[in-house]
């Protein structure tokens, strides 16, 4: 399988090269040239598979011989052995047709463990085989950073630098990053917001002159194709458990950067019978505005009770646009160049295609807290604020009563105690056993100005020989 850029000018790469590349050389994002598809009979047979076996089935065509099947199976088995629930991604019923898919049983209590535990092991495997060293640079609005550090900390061939907005992530999120010990791990608190952090990462990939000549730069944000690939699996896992292929399933996805819900779009295109994908946003509602107004423009970032979604530029939306515009890389490059200058309007043909599968909702903090309280009152199930946004959006999407609606529960509520208190609940939300001493562990973090040169200078000075 080959991977091509959404902007049409970068060379096509195989899986291994895409894994180590991140952004394409033309500034685009890599996507598969073609998608594997599964027949109804093949999807039906997935019901007998446990999560690692299903992951092997879904992921193998994307890897396409770059890693031998036996080695890939061992990597996948090792990845999901780290999860604390034997089902890996258990489904919990909230109402007769409302479900949550619990994606927070990994080491850092967030859905990003599904991809980043796998990504770290894939990188370890490939770099060791190549006898190569790389630098990882990533931006996080909360959960990506801790999942990336946890997934990559064991790899001696990696120096990892994670940027987060100073004092703009929850205390649990921050400590999950800053308490991990390792000479190769660097947490950078940037005196700005997430979009500033993400812009620095993109600028660094565009100009890597600050790096030693023998070091590549690897992305761990969802611009890295391997992240998206790993997330496709749990859509199949949930839908099959609820009756696919004989029965369609709808999914509501709390999303800021569009990576997680794009994986659902790919699952649909691979043959999974998906009725609808609901884009659930907080007040930073760029994706909701795109779907309802057919236009996109920047607005000031607002800080919310769901900080992992406090994003005003959704990087992975470019991957969907590529399909909506008939995979015309020049058209995508032109659109995004105009977005850099201001507002862009999308064609009605493209937006009609999007609306045939996607709908959206914007949920503010007050509604988020109300949903946490209502769900607790109805069934004594405690949602984190991101998952609450997903549940609220699912309830307002107008999906038929005979279609099961699965909300992706993207984080453990213990990571966001302020939201639980804001819901008026007196429940004490304890951290799982492996994190009970989190607040006693020493932290390591460097606070840096919102300045690209300062960040790149720090990185250059801290890359190990």
Active site residues: 112
In terms of C-beta distances under 8 Å and separation of at least 24 residues, what long-range contacts does 60-64 make, across chains too? 61/1, 61/36, 62/1, 62/15, 62/32, 62/36, 62/229, 63/15, 64/1, 64/14, 64/15
Q: What distance in Å separates the CA atoms of residue 187 and residue 196, rounded to the nearest whole number?
A: 15
SS3 217: strand
CB 128 within 8 A of CB 136: no
Cα–Cα separations (whole angstroms), residue 181 to 143, 230, 445: 18, 26, 11
> Rounded to whole angstroms, how far apart are CA atoms 35 and 306?
33
Helix, strand, coil shares of the chain, percent, nearest 5, are 45, 15, 40
The CB-based long-range contact list for 84-92 (8 Å cut-off, 24+ gap) reads: 84/432, 84/434, 87/51, 88/50, 88/51, 88/52, 88/237, 89/51, 89/114, 89/234, 89/237, 89/238, 91/238, 91/241, 91/242, 91/406, 92/381, 92/409
Considering only the C-alpha atoms of the chain, give the largest distance between any 2 of them, rounded to a whole number of Å.
60
Q: Which of 417, 410, 412 is nearest to 432 (CA)?
A: 412
Peptide bond into 245 cis (omega under 30): yes
Q: How far is residue 224's CA from residue 217's CA, in Å, rounded to a whole number? A: 12
The CA distance from 437 to 111, in Å, is 22
Q: What does the alpha-carbon distance between residue 413 and residue 430 come to, in Å, rounded to a whole number?
A: 9
């Amino acid at each position: 399988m080959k991977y091509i850029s959404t902007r049409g000018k970068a060379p096509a790469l195989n899986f291994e090269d895409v894994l180590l590349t991140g952004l394409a050389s033309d500034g685009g994002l890599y996507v598969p040239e073609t998608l594997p598809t599964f027949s109804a009979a093949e999807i039906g047979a997935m019901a007998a598979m446990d999560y690692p076996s299903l992951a092997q089935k879904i992921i193998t065509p994307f890897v396409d011989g770059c890693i031998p099947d036996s080695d890939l199976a061992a990597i996948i088995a090792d990845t999901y052995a780290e999860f604390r629930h034997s089902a890996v991604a258990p489904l919990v019923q909230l109402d007769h047709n409302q479900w949550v898919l619990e994606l927070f049983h990994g080491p850092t209590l967030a859905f990003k463990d599904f991809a980043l535990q796998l990504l770290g092991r894939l990188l370890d495997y490939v770099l060791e085989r190549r006898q190569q060293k790389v630098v990882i640079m990533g931006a996080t609005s909360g959960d990506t950073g801790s999942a990336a550090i946890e997934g990559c900390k064991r790899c001696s061939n990696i120096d990892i630098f994670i940027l987060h907005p100073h004092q703009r992530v929850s205390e649990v999120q921050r400590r999950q990053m800053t308490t991990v010990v390792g000479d190769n791990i660097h947490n950078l608190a940037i005196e700005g917001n997430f979009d500033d952090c993400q812009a620095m990462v993109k600028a660094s990939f565009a100009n890597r002159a600050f790096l030693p000549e023998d070091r590549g730069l690897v992305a761990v944000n969802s611009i890295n194709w391997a992240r998206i690939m790993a997330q496709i699996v749990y859509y199949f896992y949930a839908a099959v458990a609820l009756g696919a292929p004989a029965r369609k399933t709808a999914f509501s996805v709390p999303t800021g950067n569009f990576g997680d819900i794009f994986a659902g779009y790919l699952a649909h295109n691979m043959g999974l019978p998906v009725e609808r994908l609901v884009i659930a946003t907080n007040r930073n509602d760029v994706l909701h505005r795109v779907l309802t107004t057919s236009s996109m423009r920047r607005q000031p970032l607002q800080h919310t009770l769901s900080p992992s979604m406090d994003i005003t530029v959704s990087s992975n939306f470019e991957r969907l646009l590529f399909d909506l515009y008939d995979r015309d890389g020049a058209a995508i490059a032109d659109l995004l160049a105009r977005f850099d200058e201001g507002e862009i309007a999308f064609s009605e043909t493209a937006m009609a295609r999007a609306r045939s599968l996607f709908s959206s909702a914007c949920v503010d903090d007050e509604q988020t807290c109300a949903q946490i309280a209502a769900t607790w009152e109805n069934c004594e199930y405690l949602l984190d604020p991101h998952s609450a946004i997903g549940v609220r959006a699912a309830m307002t999407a107008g999906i038929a009563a005979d279609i099961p609606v699965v909300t992706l529960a993207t984080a453990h509520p213990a990571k966001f105690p302020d939201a639980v208190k804001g819901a008026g609940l007196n429940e004490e939300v304890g951290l799982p056993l492996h994190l009970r001493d989190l607040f006693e562990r020493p932290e390591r973090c460097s606070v840096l100005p919102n300045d690209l040169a300062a960040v790149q200078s720090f990185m250059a000075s801290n890359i190990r020989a």
